[in-house]
Structure 1
Amino acid sequence: MLRFLRPATFRQLNSRLYTTGKETAREYLDKAAAPFEVFDRRAKRMQRDRAAARAADSREVDYLRDEVARRVADRLLDIKRRYHTVVDIGAGCGHLAKAVDDDMLDKLIMCEMSPVALNRDVDQEYDIEVERRVMDEEMPQFEPETLDAVVSSISMHWINDLPGMMIQVRKALVPDGVFIGAMFGGDSLFELRTSLQLADIERDGGIAARVSPLTDTRDMGSLIGRAGLTLSTIDVDNIVVNYPSMLHLISDINAMGEGNAVVHRLPFIKRDTLLAASAIYKEMHGNKDGTIPATFQPKPLPRGSGQTSLGELFDSTSHKL
């Protein structure tokens, strides 16, 4: 038999605390309404803080972020428009600031959740005016329809609610505003992922979350549609970097602040599993000269204007740094 509660009765029930295991019903409902959490944002901020605090080591691994920032800047040049102010979400240590000049824009607002990374190169001079803001890129805070252009370079792959973030960006853009971003996705680090998985199966009989999950290229269209962005293009580039060994690759990843930040990640990896993965990596993917390749696949995201895919203008080829 169905019973319908009066609104007042429902409000009374909703306001009481009912225990369900170790949490209350109110807490359960609050969690259900929140975005699904894949990444530990606090852990990611701490990783970026630690990496940037070792400034010398951090600068040695700027090569990947600098390269992707140059490609994002090239996309910005494809739009025949000059901007007064551009917002860089997830700016890191200022990689995009090094790739743009005063012919492209007047001012760059760097937004980064790690204050240590944001201010690592605070004394460096750029061709443009730079403003720094501590801001979590998962929750960009800008007034509606106030921004001409927003860019993001290798940061959004750590965002839990990616459509929600892009919705906030869309609302902040003026009509016909521009949004350009690049995030690791698709088959990035597939060599490392498969090697660790095979080593886990061999040594422990299962697979652990060693490498962060990444957004598939085929899913980006629906995510962009949910965000309400129009006239969008999605391009895939491959950047292949050669390393002496898998251990050198992992060391550089940590120095970049790009270590695993999955919520349910394991706190450590056993030495024999790590050595087994290194041997598998070299056997399955190694180069003839003894080095190992690592594939990074930054995917430039929608611009918000423009009607021609960059895939028609540029060939997506592998680059060795």
Structure 2
Amino acid sequence: MFYNERIRSSSMFSKERIRSSSMFSEERIRSSSMFYNERMRSSSMFYNERIGSSSMFYNERIGSSSMFSDERIRSSSMFYNERIGSSSMFSDERIGSSSMFSDERIRSSSMFSDEPVQRSQDGGRPHGGETAMISRRLLRLLPAACPAPSPGSGSRRTSGSSRGSMNVFDREMKRRQRRWAGSLQDTHLFDYLRDEVGGRVADRVYDVARTFPLALDLGGGKSHIAEHLSKEVVERLFLTDVSEKTLRRRTDIPTHCVLADEEFLPFPENTFDLVVSSLSLHWINDLPAALRQIHQVLKPDGVFIGAMVGGETLYELRCSLQLAETEREGGFSPHVSPYTAVTDLGNLLGQAGFNMLTVDIDDVQVHYPGLTEVMTDLQGMGESNCAWNRKSLLHRDSMLAAAAIYKEMYGNEDGSVPATFDILYMIGWKPHESQAKPAKRGSATSSFRNLSEIKPPSP
């Protein structure tokens, strides 16, 4: 009985154990399945949530980037248009003020007649008038390019005329440019500006009521000044230039041609009664030293009358090239040479020893079909850039962009573009005891405060 009872209890315990194990196993499997499903569901929700947030962040980022890019392009376009507009307004305002100043100065001057300016049929210079305008219409091909060596091919040394002054211009390059310009068969087509300025310098020589036995023309080249003078004013003339091909006599005055550099004059002191120069001194490296040499070769009471390019000459060309190169290449280099300011010219003449100074400025505008013709004529004149820091190559894209900017900002209604030349005229005398001298300071016997008490002289 005990054995049977034990077996029965063991069997019941075994069945109960198996049942509880089965229930535990099923419960464990069910809980594991629920946990696995819950984990997969949460993982899927997290993955979907992550993808959704990433997609939203990516779309939001692209949208903000697109908005920033559009805003940046819009602001850049507004800045570029605003810049061109302000430049155009500045240019128009500047040309207007320059024209008003030039017209007012010419009207008040006694050196110009009341006849209007008109260009003669044979290509001569305009005579007199109230405006300083020259019409230049070019409908021809470009001449052969001038062989220009690399700016770094030569050595940039200090000027020998003044110790320690750094050279700005490559004088050897300028000599080659003038030699090339003088060898052109149609070189007379490019002399319109030199003829005009030479005639105005000659007008100032005629204003001096005396005869000059011996005169010197610095950088005279083709006698652009002497052809407007007569033997009654200048008896003998020395003509100098750096290029032998440009030394040509076109005057009845007895002329001696001398191949010499304007920076080193091969003449003794107190030699000439008159020194003239037209469109040559703006290429001098040491202008103060050159003016001192001119002062030395003059006789006492001698006069120096000169003209040079200065101020804001060719500002239309300079601005167009700078804007085009900045847009196309991300920066710009100087393609127009630096010039002397009119405010500095009087001080330079005074430091050289001249007195009774006269300095004035003319704005001469020449109209061209386009930018290419402007640069072609500058080459034909021998007035191309020869600064040491010049860039030897101008890319085609920059050239085309500069031509478009030139016409857009400065173009005329007839399709032409202007090129402005600021011509600085200077007159200085070498001191002499016969010249009128200013009164000493403090020597006045009357004061402006007592002007009302001064009685007019009786008739």
Q: Say if 2:220 and 2:241, in contact at 8 Å, map to a contact too.
A: yes
In structure 2, what is the Cα distance between the partners aligned to 1:275 and 1:150?
A: 43
Match of 1:112 in 2: 241
In structure 2, what is the Cα distance between the partners aligned to 1:230 and 1:207?
A: 41
Alpha-carbon displacement from aligned partner over 1:268-289 (angstroms, at most 9, x marks no partner): 1001101111111111111110
State the one-letter code of the partner of 2:169: F
TM-score under structure 1 length normalisation: 0.82
| 2:368 alignment partner, one of 232, 240, 243 | 243
Match of 2:168 in 1: 38
| Larger Rg, first or second structure (1 or 2) | 2
Q: Does 1:50 align with 2:157?
A: no
Between Structure 1 and Structure 2, how many residues are aligned?
275
Q: Cα offset for 1:145?
A: 1.0
Q: Cα offset for 1:33?
A: 3.4
| 1:213 alignment partner, one of 338, 348, 355 | 338
In structure 2, what is the Cα distance between the partners aligned to 1:90 and 1:301?
A: 16
| 1:151 alignment partner, one of 246, 260, 276 | 276
| 1:296 alignment partner, one of 415, 421, 429 | 421
Q: Cα offset for 1:207?
A: 1.9
Match of 2:405 in 1: 280
TM-score under structure 2 length normalisation: 0.58
Aligned 1:1-321 pairs, distance under 5 A: 33-54=163-184, 56-118=185-247, 121-122=248-249, 124=250, 126-304=251-429
Match of 2:6 in 1: none
Further displaced range: 262-271 or 297-306: 297-306
State the one-letter code of the partner of 1:112: D
In structure 1, what is the Cα distance between the partners aligned to 2:346 and 2:226?
A: 29
In structure 1, what is the Cα distance between the partners aligned to 2:219 and 2:165?
A: 20
Q: Cα offset for 1:302?
A: 2.4
Match of 1:11 in 2: none
In structure 1, what is the Cα distance between the partners aligned to 2:265 and 2:176?
A: 19
Q: Say if 2:311 and 2:422, in contact at 8 Å, map to a contact too.
A: yes
Q: Cα offset for 1:222?
A: 2.0
Q: What is the SS of the residue equivalent to 2:427?
A: coil
Q: What is the SS of the residue equivalent to 2:316?
A: helix
Q: Cα offset for 1:203?
A: 1.1
In structure 2, what is the Cα distance between the partners aligned to 1:293 and 1:127?
A: 36
In structure 1, what is the Cα distance between the partners aligned to 2:271 and 2:281?
A: 21
In structure 1, what is the Cα distance between the partners aligned to 2:236 and 2:399?
A: 45
Q: Say if 2:214 and 2:274, in contact at 8 Å, map to a contact too.
A: yes
Unaligned stretches of 5+ residues in structure 1: 1-26, 308-321
State the one-letter code of the partner of 1:61: F
Q: Cα offset for 1:50?
A: 0.5
In structure 2, what is the Cα distance between the partners aligned to 1:195 and 1:170?
A: 39
In structure 2, what is the Cα distance between the partners aligned to 1:37 and 1:287?
A: 38
In structure 2, what is the Cα distance between the partners aligned to 1:53 and 1:171?
A: 34
Sequence identity (%): 43
State the one-letter code of the partner of 2:208: I
In structure 2, what is the Cα distance between the partners aligned to 1:102 and 1:139?
A: 28
In structure 2, what is the Cα distance between the partners aligned to 1:133 and 1:288?
A: 47
Q: Cα offset for 1:154?
A: 0.3
State the one-letter code of the partner of 1:79: V
Q: Say if 2:349 and 2:428, in contact at 8 Å, map to a contact too.
A: no
